[in-house]
Amino acid sequence: ESSAASDVYKRQDPDKINLSEILESISRIGYLAHPYDPDRQQRIIEKERKQQLRRIGLAGVLGMQVMILAVALYTGDWWGMDQAIQGFFRWTSLLLTLPVLAFASRVFFISAWRDLKNRRVGMDVPVSLGIGIAFTASVAHTISGHGEIYFDSVVMFTFFLLTARYFEMTARKRSTEATEALVSLQPAVAAKLVRVDGRDEEHAVPVAELEQGDRVLVRPGDTIPADGVIESGASGVDESLITGESMPVTKSDGDDVIGGSINTESPLIIGITHVGADTVLAAIQRLLDKAQSEKPAIARLADRIASKFVIVILTIASLVAVFWLSQG
Protein backbone atom coordinates (compact mmCIF):
# COMPACT_ATOMS: atom_id res chain seq x y z
CA GLU A 1 0.00 0.00 0.00
CA SER A 2 1.49 3.33 -1.01
CA SER A 3 1.36 6.38 1.19
CA ALA A 4 -0.74 8.14 -1.47
CA ALA A 5 -3.29 5.33 -1.45
CA SER A 6 -3.68 5.59 2.31
CA ASP A 7 -4.24 9.36 2.20
CA VAL A 8 -6.79 9.73 -0.58
CA TYR A 9 -9.45 7.62 -2.28
CA LYS A 10 -9.47 7.71 -6.09
CA ARG A 11 -12.44 7.28 -8.36
CA GLN A 12 -12.22 5.28 -11.56
CA ASP A 13 -13.04 7.09 -14.81
CA PRO A 14 -14.18 4.38 -17.29
CA ASP A 15 -13.33 6.71 -20.20
CA LYS A 16 -9.68 6.81 -19.15
CA ILE A 17 -9.01 3.35 -17.71
CA ASN A 18 -10.87 0.04 -17.46
CA LEU A 19 -11.31 -1.83 -14.19
CA SER A 20 -9.53 -4.83 -15.75
CA GLU A 21 -6.42 -2.69 -16.32
CA ILE A 22 -6.41 -1.62 -12.67
CA LEU A 23 -6.76 -5.23 -11.49
CA GLU A 24 -3.99 -6.33 -13.87
CA SER A 25 -1.65 -3.63 -12.55
CA ILE A 26 -2.34 -4.71 -8.97
CA SER A 27 -1.75 -8.34 -9.93
CA ARG A 28 1.62 -7.48 -11.51
CA ILE A 29 2.98 -6.23 -8.18
CA GLY A 30 1.87 -9.42 -6.43
CA TYR A 31 -1.56 -8.71 -4.97
CA LEU A 32 -5.03 -10.11 -5.67
CA ALA A 33 -7.81 -7.51 -5.90
CA HIS A 34 -11.52 -8.30 -6.02
CA PRO A 35 -14.82 -6.56 -5.17
CA TYR A 36 -15.06 -6.30 -1.40
CA ASP A 37 -17.04 -9.13 0.17
CA PRO A 38 -16.64 -9.74 3.94
CA ASP A 39 -17.34 -13.47 3.63
CA ARG A 40 -14.87 -13.90 0.78
CA GLN A 41 -12.29 -11.84 2.64
CA GLN A 42 -12.59 -14.12 5.67
CA ARG A 43 -12.30 -17.24 3.48
CA ILE A 44 -9.12 -15.90 1.85
CA ILE A 45 -7.55 -15.04 5.21
CA GLU A 46 -8.51 -18.43 6.66
CA LYS A 47 -7.07 -20.25 3.65
CA GLU A 48 -3.85 -18.27 3.95
CA ARG A 49 -3.69 -19.02 7.69
CA LYS A 50 -4.02 -22.78 7.12
CA GLN A 51 -1.32 -22.74 4.43
CA GLN A 52 0.97 -20.84 6.78
CA LEU A 53 0.36 -23.38 9.54
CA ARG A 54 1.30 -26.21 7.14
CA ARG A 55 4.54 -24.43 6.26
CA ILE A 56 5.36 -23.82 9.92
CA GLY A 57 4.52 -27.43 10.79
CA LEU A 58 6.75 -28.84 8.05
CA ALA A 59 9.64 -26.49 8.91
CA GLY A 60 9.26 -27.24 12.62
CA VAL A 61 9.07 -31.04 12.40
CA LEU A 62 11.87 -31.47 9.86
CA GLY A 63 13.84 -28.65 11.45
CA MET A 64 13.98 -30.51 14.76
CA GLN A 65 15.39 -33.58 13.01
CA VAL A 66 18.02 -31.50 11.23
CA MET A 67 18.95 -29.81 14.52
CA ILE A 68 19.47 -33.21 16.19
CA LEU A 69 21.85 -34.21 13.40
CA ALA A 70 23.57 -30.80 13.59
CA VAL A 71 24.25 -31.27 17.32
CA ALA A 72 25.74 -34.69 16.57
CA LEU A 73 27.97 -33.23 13.84
CA TYR A 74 29.11 -30.35 16.08
CA THR A 75 30.03 -32.69 18.93
CA GLY A 76 31.67 -35.00 16.38
CA ASP A 77 33.95 -32.12 15.37
CA TRP A 78 35.04 -31.78 18.99
CA TRP A 79 35.46 -35.42 20.00
CA GLY A 80 35.83 -37.16 16.66
CA MET A 81 33.41 -38.97 14.36
CA ASP A 82 33.81 -41.68 11.75
CA GLN A 83 33.86 -40.18 8.24
CA ALA A 84 31.17 -42.58 7.00
CA ILE A 85 28.81 -41.60 9.83
CA GLN A 86 29.57 -37.93 9.26
CA GLY A 87 28.78 -38.26 5.56
CA PHE A 88 25.57 -40.14 6.33
CA PHE A 89 24.42 -37.37 8.71
CA ARG A 90 25.23 -34.68 6.12
CA TRP A 91 23.26 -36.39 3.34
CA THR A 92 20.36 -37.06 5.71
CA SER A 93 20.31 -33.37 6.69
CA LEU A 94 20.26 -32.44 3.00
CA LEU A 95 17.29 -34.72 2.30
CA LEU A 96 15.38 -33.37 5.32
CA THR A 97 16.05 -29.76 4.30
CA LEU A 98 14.88 -30.17 0.70
CA PRO A 99 11.10 -30.26 1.53
CA VAL A 100 11.49 -27.21 3.77
CA LEU A 101 13.22 -25.31 0.97
CA ALA A 102 10.74 -26.45 -1.70
CA PHE A 103 7.52 -25.86 0.26
CA ALA A 104 8.01 -23.73 3.37
CA SER A 105 10.71 -21.34 2.10
CA ARG A 106 9.09 -21.02 -1.32
CA VAL A 107 7.06 -17.96 -0.26
CA PHE A 108 10.25 -15.96 0.38
CA PHE A 109 11.71 -16.72 -3.07
CA ILE A 110 8.43 -15.90 -4.85
CA SER A 111 8.16 -12.58 -3.03
CA ALA A 112 11.83 -11.73 -3.64
CA TRP A 113 11.51 -12.49 -7.37
CA ARG A 114 8.39 -10.32 -7.59
CA ASP A 115 10.22 -7.45 -5.89
CA LEU A 116 13.19 -7.72 -8.25
CA LYS A 117 10.90 -7.84 -11.31
CA ASN A 118 9.33 -4.59 -10.10
CA ARG A 119 12.80 -3.08 -9.61
CA ARG A 120 12.65 -2.80 -5.85
CA VAL A 121 14.49 -4.52 -3.03
CA GLY A 122 12.25 -5.70 -0.20
CA MET A 123 13.14 -7.60 2.95
CA ASP A 124 12.47 -10.94 1.25
CA VAL A 125 15.46 -10.37 -1.05
CA PRO A 126 18.13 -10.70 1.68
CA VAL A 127 16.08 -13.46 3.32
CA SER A 128 16.05 -15.46 0.08
CA LEU A 129 19.72 -14.77 -0.54
CA GLY A 130 20.62 -15.93 2.96
CA ILE A 131 18.61 -19.14 2.70
CA GLY A 132 19.66 -19.84 -0.90
CA ILE A 133 23.39 -19.23 -0.43
CA ALA A 134 23.53 -21.17 2.85
CA PHE A 135 21.76 -24.12 1.22
CA THR A 136 23.89 -24.02 -1.94
CA ALA A 137 27.14 -23.89 0.04
CA SER A 138 25.94 -26.74 2.26
CA VAL A 139 25.09 -28.91 -0.75
CA ALA A 140 28.52 -28.24 -2.29
CA HIS A 141 30.27 -29.15 0.98
CA THR A 142 28.11 -32.26 1.40
CA ILE A 143 29.04 -33.50 -2.08
CA SER A 144 32.74 -32.72 -1.59
CA GLY A 145 32.79 -34.10 1.95
CA HIS A 146 34.69 -31.04 3.20
CA GLY A 147 33.65 -27.72 4.74
CA GLU A 148 30.85 -26.57 7.00
CA ILE A 149 27.17 -27.22 6.37
CA TYR A 150 24.36 -24.89 7.39
CA PHE A 151 21.19 -26.94 6.89
CA ASP A 152 20.22 -26.31 10.52
CA SER A 153 20.40 -22.55 9.94
CA VAL A 154 18.28 -22.83 6.79
CA VAL A 155 15.44 -24.76 8.45
CA MET A 156 15.37 -22.81 11.71
CA PHE A 157 15.62 -19.43 9.96
CA THR A 158 12.64 -20.46 7.83
CA PHE A 159 10.72 -21.70 10.88
CA PHE A 160 11.19 -18.53 12.93
CA LEU A 161 10.39 -16.17 10.03
CA LEU A 162 7.22 -18.07 9.15
CA THR A 163 6.15 -18.08 12.80
CA ALA A 164 6.62 -14.30 13.06
CA ARG A 165 4.56 -13.77 9.90
CA TYR A 166 1.85 -16.06 11.26
CA PHE A 167 1.49 -13.81 14.32
CA GLU A 168 1.26 -10.81 12.00
CA MET A 169 -1.42 -12.58 9.95
CA THR A 170 -3.38 -13.44 13.10
CA ALA A 171 -3.33 -9.79 14.19
CA ARG A 172 -4.57 -8.75 10.73
CA LYS A 173 -7.37 -11.32 10.93
CA ARG A 174 -8.49 -10.00 14.32
CA SER A 175 -8.48 -6.46 12.96
CA THR A 176 -10.65 -7.52 10.01
CA GLU A 177 -13.07 -9.34 12.31
CA ALA A 178 -13.35 -6.25 14.52
CA THR A 179 -14.20 -4.13 11.48
CA GLU A 180 -16.81 -6.62 10.28
CA ALA A 181 -18.32 -6.79 13.77
CA LEU A 182 -18.91 -3.03 13.65
CA VAL A 183 -20.37 -3.18 10.14
CA SER A 184 -22.77 -5.95 11.15
CA LEU A 185 -24.12 -3.95 14.09
CA GLN A 186 -26.42 -1.87 11.90
CA PRO A 187 -29.56 -3.75 10.80
CA ALA A 188 -30.71 -3.71 7.19
CA VAL A 189 -34.38 -2.94 7.90
CA ALA A 190 -36.16 -0.74 10.45
CA ALA A 191 -39.78 -0.57 11.60
CA LYS A 192 -40.71 3.02 10.71
CA LEU A 193 -43.85 4.50 12.29
CA VAL A 194 -46.02 6.59 9.97
CA ARG A 195 -48.95 8.62 11.31
CA VAL A 196 -52.14 7.71 9.42
CA ASP A 197 -55.61 8.89 10.54
CA GLY A 198 -54.40 9.66 14.04
CA ARG A 199 -52.66 6.37 14.64
CA ASP A 200 -49.20 4.96 13.97
CA GLU A 201 -48.76 2.45 11.18
CA GLU A 202 -45.63 0.33 11.02
CA HIS A 203 -43.72 0.11 7.73
CA ALA A 204 -40.57 -1.92 7.11
CA VAL A 205 -38.04 0.34 5.37
CA PRO A 206 -34.31 0.03 4.62
CA VAL A 207 -32.21 1.69 7.31
CA ALA A 208 -30.41 3.65 4.58
CA GLU A 209 -33.71 5.44 3.81
CA LEU A 210 -34.27 6.70 7.37
CA GLU A 211 -34.13 10.46 7.82
CA GLN A 212 -33.72 12.79 10.76
CA GLY A 213 -37.07 13.19 12.51
CA ASP A 214 -38.41 9.73 11.59
CA ARG A 215 -39.87 7.60 14.35
CA VAL A 216 -39.08 3.88 14.63
CA LEU A 217 -40.31 1.00 16.77
CA VAL A 218 -37.59 -1.18 18.28
CA ARG A 219 -38.82 -4.43 19.81
CA PRO A 220 -36.95 -6.41 22.49
CA GLY A 221 -34.00 -8.21 20.93
CA ASP A 222 -33.88 -5.84 17.93
CA THR A 223 -30.97 -3.57 17.06
CA ILE A 224 -31.50 0.18 17.21
CA PRO A 225 -31.12 1.30 13.57
CA ALA A 226 -29.65 4.81 14.10
CA ASP A 227 -28.85 7.38 16.78
CA GLY A 228 -31.91 8.88 18.39
CA VAL A 229 -33.90 9.87 21.50
CA ILE A 230 -36.45 7.65 23.24
CA GLU A 231 -39.93 9.14 22.83
CA SER A 232 -41.83 6.36 24.56
CA GLY A 233 -40.91 3.35 26.66
CA ALA A 234 -38.22 2.23 29.07
CA SER A 235 -35.83 -0.66 28.60
CA GLY A 236 -32.30 -1.94 29.06
CA VAL A 237 -29.99 -1.23 26.13
CA ASP A 238 -26.91 -3.36 25.45
CA GLU A 239 -24.13 -1.02 24.23
CA SER A 240 -21.27 -3.45 24.91
CA LEU A 241 -19.95 -3.68 21.34
CA ILE A 242 -19.79 0.11 21.10
CA THR A 243 -18.90 1.41 24.57
CA GLY A 244 -17.47 -1.74 26.19
CA GLU A 245 -20.07 -1.61 29.00
CA SER A 246 -20.85 -5.25 29.73
CA MET A 247 -24.21 -4.70 31.47
CA PRO A 248 -27.31 -3.26 29.72
CA VAL A 249 -27.91 0.41 30.49
CA THR A 250 -31.44 1.41 31.54
CA LYS A 251 -32.92 3.98 29.16
CA SER A 252 -36.25 5.82 29.30
CA ASP A 253 -38.09 8.83 27.80
CA GLY A 254 -35.70 11.57 26.69
CA ASP A 255 -32.54 9.46 26.86
CA ASP A 256 -30.17 9.25 23.90
CA VAL A 257 -29.55 5.86 22.28
CA ILE A 258 -26.80 4.79 19.91
CA GLY A 259 -27.44 3.07 16.60
CA GLY A 260 -26.10 -0.48 16.69
CA SER A 261 -26.96 -1.07 20.35
CA ILE A 262 -29.54 -3.73 21.24
CA ASN A 263 -32.86 -3.29 23.01
CA THR A 264 -33.03 -6.06 25.62
CA GLU A 265 -36.33 -5.76 27.54
CA SER A 266 -39.31 -3.68 26.35
CA PRO A 267 -40.49 -2.02 23.13
CA LEU A 268 -39.15 1.48 22.49
CA ILE A 269 -40.33 4.24 20.19
CA ILE A 270 -37.31 6.26 19.10
CA GLY A 271 -37.06 9.56 17.27
CA ILE A 272 -34.13 9.50 14.87
CA THR A 273 -31.64 12.35 15.35
CA HIS A 274 -28.62 11.22 13.29
CA VAL A 275 -28.38 8.95 10.25
CA GLY A 276 -25.72 7.69 7.86
CA ALA A 277 -22.28 9.24 8.28
CA ASP A 278 -23.40 11.37 11.24
CA THR A 279 -24.01 8.44 13.62
CA VAL A 280 -21.68 7.36 16.43
CA LEU A 281 -21.21 3.98 14.75
CA ALA A 282 -20.13 5.62 11.47
CA ALA A 283 -17.64 7.80 13.38
CA ILE A 284 -16.14 4.72 15.05
CA GLN A 285 -15.87 3.01 11.66
CA ARG A 286 -14.08 6.04 10.21
CA LEU A 287 -11.61 6.06 13.10
CA LEU A 288 -10.99 2.34 12.66
CA ASP A 289 -10.48 2.70 8.90
CA LYS A 290 -8.08 5.57 9.53
CA ALA A 291 -6.12 3.54 12.09
CA GLN A 292 -5.84 0.61 9.68
CA SER A 293 -4.88 2.62 6.60
CA GLU A 294 -2.55 5.22 8.07
CA LYS A 295 0.90 4.46 9.44
CA PRO A 296 2.80 6.12 12.30
CA ALA A 297 5.60 8.49 11.33
CA ILE A 298 8.25 5.95 12.38
CA ALA A 299 6.66 3.30 10.14
CA ARG A 300 6.56 5.68 7.15
CA LEU A 301 10.22 6.53 7.78
CA ALA A 302 11.07 2.81 7.89
CA ASP A 303 9.24 2.27 4.57
CA ARG A 304 11.22 5.06 2.93
CA ILE A 305 14.64 3.86 4.06
CA ALA A 306 14.02 0.09 3.98
CA SER A 307 14.98 -0.39 0.32
CA LYS A 308 18.12 1.75 0.61
CA PHE A 309 19.03 0.00 3.86
CA VAL A 310 18.76 -3.45 2.25
CA ILE A 311 20.87 -2.35 -0.74
CA VAL A 312 23.58 -0.95 1.57
CA ILE A 313 23.65 -4.12 3.69
CA LEU A 314 23.84 -6.38 0.61
CA THR A 315 26.66 -4.24 -0.81
CA ILE A 316 28.66 -4.42 2.43
CA ALA A 317 28.08 -8.18 2.66
CA SER A 318 29.25 -8.65 -0.94
CA LEU A 319 32.41 -6.62 -0.33
CA VAL A 320 33.19 -8.63 2.82
CA ALA A 321 32.65 -11.88 0.89
CA VAL A 322 34.97 -10.76 -1.93
CA PHE A 323 37.62 -9.76 0.60
CA TRP A 324 37.62 -13.09 2.41
CA LEU A 325 37.52 -15.06 -0.83
CA SER A 326 40.61 -13.16 -1.96
CA GLN A 327 42.28 -14.16 1.29
CA GLY A 328 41.76 -17.84 0.51
What's the chain's Rg over C-alpha atoms? 30
Distance CA 90, CA 149 (A): 8
Tens-place pLDDT, residues 182-211? 777 778 889 998 888 878 888 888 988 888
The mean pLDDT value for 18-29 works out to 80
- Does residue 25 have a pLDDT over 50? yes
Distance CA 103, CA 215 (A): 60
pTM of the model: 0.68
Q: Is 147 exposed, middle or buried (0-12, 13-18, 19+ CB in 10 A)?
A: exposed
Contact 90, 124 (CB under 8 A): no
Distance CA 308, CA 301 (A): 12
Tens-place pLDDT, residues 239-268? 887 778 888 889 998 999 998 889 998 999
Percent of the residues in the chain that have a pLDDT greater than 70, as a whole number: 95
| Residue 238 identity | D
Tens-place pLDDT, residues 117-134? 888 888 889 999 999 999
User: For residue 186, what is the DSSP state?
Assistant: S
Contact 286, 294 (CB under 8 A): no
The mean pLDDT value for 288-302 works out to 78
Band of pLDDT at residue 1, cut at 50, 70 and 90:
very low
Contact 193, 253 (CB under 8 A): no
Question: What is the dihedral angle through the alpha carbons of 25, 30, 33, 37, rounded to the nearest 10 degrees?
Answer: -170
CA-to-CA dists, residue 218 to 237, 254, 274, 292, angstroms: 11, 15, 16, 33
Distance CA 326, CA 321 (A): 9
| Residue 326 identity | S
Per-chain mean pLDDT for the chain = 86
DSSP 263-275: E-SS-EEEEEEE-
The conformational region for residue 198 under phi > 0 = left, psi -120 to 50 = alpha, else beta, is left
| Res 188: pLDDT | 83
